[in-house]
Structure 1
Amino acid sequence: MIYKHLLAAIETHDEGEKMLVKARDLARGFGASLSLIHVVEYLPIDPAGDALLATPIDLCSERAGFAETRIGEWCDRNDLDRSFLRVVIGSITPEILRAQQETQADLIVVGHHPRHGLSALFSYTDDGVLHRASCDVLAIHLDD
Structure 2
Amino acid sequence: MTSYKRILIGLDLSEESSQVLQKAGTIGAACDAELTLAHVIEPLTFAYGGDIPMDLSEVQEQLQTQAKEQLRKAAAQLNIPAERQHVVLGQPATEIHRLAEEMQADLVVIGSHGRHGLALLLGSTANGVLHGASCDVLAVRVHTEDK
Q: What is the 5 A alignment of 1:1-144?
A: 1-44=2-45, 51=51, 54-58=53-57, 59-116=59-116, 120=120, 124-144=124-144
Q: Which runs of 5+ in 2 are unaligned?
A: none
Q: Report the Cα distance in structure 1 between the residues aligned to 2:132 and 2:13, rounded to whole angstroms.
A: 24
Give the number of aligned pairs: 139
Taking a change above 3 Å as real, the CA distance of residues 56 and 75 of structure 1, as seen in their structure-2 partners, is same
Query: Superposition RMSD on alpha carbons, in Å?
Result: 2.5
Paired residue secondary structure (1:79): coil
Contact 2:41 2:64 in 1 (8 A): yes
- Residue 2 of structure 1 and its aligned partner are, at CA, apart by 1.0
Instruction: Please give the TM-score of this superposition, normalised by the length of structure 2.
Output: 0.82
Check whether the contact 2:118–2:124 (CA below 8 A) recurs between aligned residues. Answer: no
Quickly say closer, same or farther: Cα 1:11–1:119, change in 2 above 3 A. closer
Q: CA deviation at 1:55?
A: 2.5
Whichever residue aligns with residue 61 of structure 1, its letter is: E
Q: Distance in 1 between matches of 2:139 and 2:96?
A: 14
Unpaired runs of 5+ in structure 1? Answer: none
CA contact (8 A) 2:119 2:127 kept: no
DSSP 3-state at the match of 1:3:
coil
Deviation at 1:102, TM superposition (A): 0.2
